[in-house]
Amino acid sequence: MDTIVSLAKRRGIIFQSSEIYGGLNGFFDYGPLGAEIKRNIRSAWWNDMVHRRDDIVGIETSIIMHPRVWEASGHVEGFTDPMVDCKVSKQRYRADQLFFAEAIVTPEDATDGKPTSEGSVFTYPDLYPSTPETIGYVSALETDDITGELHRRAQELKRKRGARGTLAPLVVKDITEARAEEIPLIPSPATGEAGSLTPPRAFNLMFQTHVGALRDESAVAYLRPETAQGMFVDFKSVVDTGRVKLPFGIAQIGKSFRNEITPRNYIFRSREFEQMEMEYFIHPDADWFACHEEWLNWCQDWLVSIGIPREQLSLFEHPKEKLAFYSRRTVDIMFRYPFGVQELWGIAARSDYDLKQHAKFSGKPLEIFDEATKSKFVPHVIEPAVGVDRILLAVLCSAYYEDEIEGEKRSVLRFHPRIAPYKVAVFPLLKNKPPLVERAQTLYKALKRKYNVFYDESGAIGRRYRRQDEIGTPWCVTIDFDTIEKDGTFTLRDRDSLRQERMTEAGLFAMLDERLG
């Protein structure tokens, strides 16, 4: 992960927000290349989700909505994460990310390498426990191998205590599952000492603000924690004005804000992030499961279409007993990030809950009138919801590649052409030959009208190629003497295959149209 973080900083992709003031935890800025990549992810999604389909329309709703929206949606009451404080270090942890286990020593394997007598494993009953014995508790913050980590800590504890016998297999739990009497026994991850952790408490993740000049309760409003509610609240306006017919979707891209207790893993979990969500409305009698499956496949195919390798994706089906009462099914598309396999995209079957809640709280019916049966009903919804920042991180992690060309190390960002910040780089072979420079400039300006293109005339061609490889430019064009003296063709070099071919300007435009379309 460190390689990706330093690469992103070095190349102007991602910066810590307010860095000159020491940064602000959970907030990030996108530099010149990052802003382009992000924009390309958004455009690819919008084109494929909205423009290229007949059944989906796009909207943009405000970040601050009527506070009743969040009462209706359940966020004011229930959008919480359980948190635990360490009273000594003043650190705060998400309770479901703080794991613990009771370290118990059993006598069973006390024979291992020790003298025994027939019929009894205990030659030295004073030294070895005759019954399982708790030697203390161990804790650790979530890692890829939390069981392994806790086991290491339990062994260390056993060594420190000078305990004999064998550690029993650990039963790993998160601290929300701890009994009240266990809390004072669990060490704080900050101090390593027990006794300073508070019991888990619900912490609301919504950012509050005030609208207008008053600062009292009546002026309280929230920064939206998801874009989805905008689609439900505007449902009637879209139906009344958009000439949509079931099944249809409403899509939106926009910023969301969550006061995450432990923002971490770089831009994976931040406090300000961007979502791309789509609510797909279906008839209550429609085959919701088939529709859910369709969207699950669509989303995976889309990720692959922008260059994320299918083998780095997997699915996580939320257990039925952990689903919200209104949810029929939620499946997450997971990506293998360097810090572990984590949620990238959630696809939820949310029944008619949201529309019904807003109808109840607003007093306005949110229904569809069916001409055929002359009846009204509330549609059900399938919701694919993804974060732009998480896609960008997945794209970055899977694009980074190192190889060797002619004994020289090359680092490459193998972005899909649709996602690459620059599509083409144009070079004159030599910068001190005006006809080469002029031709290169003309081509550069022609390409620039349609695409984001880079012009570079400094250094040897090999170095210029390397610079483009490092920022993920898929193609480089070199204007040479044949271009101006012979047939006008130039060299087109491919970043991944390293193949070079002669190409005309018309051929280049046609190829770009096809590959970037």
Binding stretches for ligand GAP (CB under 6 A): 226, 228, 258, 260, 269-270, 273, 275, 277, 343-346, 383, 385-387, 389-390
Q: How far is the CB of 245 from ligand GAP (least distance, A)?
A: 24
Cβ pair 282, 380 in contact under 8 A? yes
- Partner residues linked to 221 by β-bridges: 209
CA of 258: how far to CAs of 263, 275, 390, in Å? Answer: 9, 12, 15
Whether residue 247 is preceded by a cis peptide bond, meaning omega within 30 degrees of 0, is yes
What sign for the dihedral angle of Cα 298, 237, 243, 255? negative
CB of 386 to ligand GAP, least distance (A): 5
Dist. CA 400–CA 307, nearest whole Å: 12
Which bin fits 178, alpha (ψ -120 to 50), beta or left (φ > 0)? beta
Nearer residue to ligand GAP within complex by CB, 85 or 226: 226
**Residue 5: burial class (beta carbons within 10 Å; 0-12, 13-18, 19+):** middle
* Pairwise CA distance, residues 142 & 194, whole Å: 18
In the bound complex, what is the minimum distance in angstroms from residue 291's beta carbon to ligand GAP? Answer: 17
Distance (Å, rounded) from C-alpha 61 to C-alpha 65? Answer: 8
Question: Is the separation of the CB atoms in 427 and 466 below 8 Å?
Answer: no
Q: From the CB of 256, what's the least distance to ligand GAP, in Å?
A: 7
Nearer to ligand GAP, 258 or 439 (CB): 258
The least CB distance from residue 214 to ligand GAP, in Å, is: 30
Half-sphere exposure of 157 (CA within 13 A, CB side): 24
How far apart are CB 475 and ligand GAP at their closest, in Å?
31
Nearer to ligand GAP (CB atom), residue 277 or residue 352: 277
Check if the beta carbon of residue 242 is closer than 8 Å to that of residue 311.
no
CB of 264 to ligand GAP, least distance (A): 10
Q: In this chain, which residue has its C-beta nearest to ligand GAP?
A: 387
E strand segments, 184-257: 201-204, 208-210, 220-222, 248-257
Cα separations (Å) of 89 from 11, 33, 192, 193, 196? Answer: 36, 39, 11, 11, 9
Which CB sits closer to ligand GAP, 69 or 440? 69
Considering beta carbons, is residue 277 or 469 the nearer one to ligand GAP?
A: 277
- If you search the block for the tokens 């059944």, which residue do you land on? 55
Residue 287 DSSP SS3: coil
Q: Which is nearer to ligand GAP, 80 or 147 (CB)?
A: 80
Q: For ligand GAP, which is the closer residue by CB, 27 or 377?
A: 27
Question: Closest distance between ligand GAP and the C-beta of residue 271, in Å?
Answer: 7
Which candidate, 413, 419, 417, 416, places its Cα nearest to that of 397? 413
**128 or 335: CB nearest ligand GAP:** 335
Nearer to ligand GAP, 264 or 431 (CB): 264
Name the minimum Å distance from CB 75 to ligand GAP: 10
The nearest distance, CB 177 to ligand GAP, in angstroms, is 22
Q: Among residues 158, 172, 198, which one has the least CA distance to residue 102?
A: 172
105 or 385: whose CB is closer to ligand GAP? Answer: 385
H or E stretch including 299?
helix 288-305
Q: Who's near 264: CB < 8 A, 6+ residues apart?
A: none
β strands within 70-179, DSSP E: 80-85, 92-94, 98-106, 133-141, 166-167, 173-174
- Report in angstroms how near the CB of residue 290 gets to ligand GAP at its nearest: 21
Nearer to ligand GAP, 94 or 390 (CB): 390
